[in-house]
Amino acid sequence: MGVGLLRGRRRGGPVTGAPRPPYAAAPTVLHTTVTDPLARPLLDELTHEYRTRYEKPVDLSLEYPPEEFTPPRGAFLLLLADGGPVAGGAYRRYDAHTAEFKRIWTHSAHRRRGLARRVLDVLERDAADRGYTRVYLTTGPRQPEAKGLYLAAGYRPLFDPSADPETIGPLPFEKHLEIPRP
């Protein structure tokens, strides 16, 4: 799972992680499908990012049947700002009690604003509302920003965090969810 690259100062260039003006309105959540044309630009950028980091493309809509990410067993959502997708993520049923989160992603023009954390929070609430008590996810070994996000959000690494990530492969995490009480 990716959350995007951290950005900093380019040599002799501007600060690329500089503050950006706020959105006209706070991003809104759209529960939709993997096949929604609105999701395509975000998924295309994610595919490009995976190709760049891992030298292989990854496309959620081609890897899994789209119905795996539809209620009641799963979900796919986008965060929309100023009419366009800025972040997104999905989950599917892993087992009777566990939701597997997939492809949490922030568009490169909208990083460092807490959007991936918001997607994570919405997915967790949605999964808990559907009766899941645990989340399982993996992220790639070349995605330190994703690893940091999951650790900061209370996910437990199912690997030795002090080991070289390249020797582990996909980095698995879990988090236990609280079921909302009526």
Kindly report, residue by residue over 102-118, the tens digit of the pLDDT: 989 999 999 999 999 99
> Where does the pLDDT of residue 150 fall: very low under 50, low under 70, confident under 90, or very high at 90 and above?
very high
Per-residue pLDDT, 146: 94
Per-residue pLDDT, 54: 86
Cβ neighbours of residue 102 closer than 8 Å, sequence gap 6 or more: 1, 60, 64, 69, 89, 90, 91, 92, 137
> Where does the pLDDT of residue 25 fall: very low under 50, low under 70, confident under 90, or very high at 90 and above?
low
Average confidence score pLDDT of the chain: 86
Mean pLDDT of 123-142: 96
Per-residue pLDDT, 178: 87
pTM of the model: 0.83
Per-residue pLDDT, 138: 96
Per-residue pLDDT, 20: 56
Considering only 8-22, 33-47, 124-138, which range has the smallest mean pLDDT? 8-22
Mean pLDDT of 55-68: 80
pLDDT at 11 over 50: no
Per-residue buried b or exposed e for 117-142, using 16+ beta carbons within 10 Å of the residue's own CB:
bbbbebbbebbbebebebbbbbbbbe
Between 152 and 58, residue with greater pLDDT:
152
* Prior bond of 72 cis (ω within 30°): yes
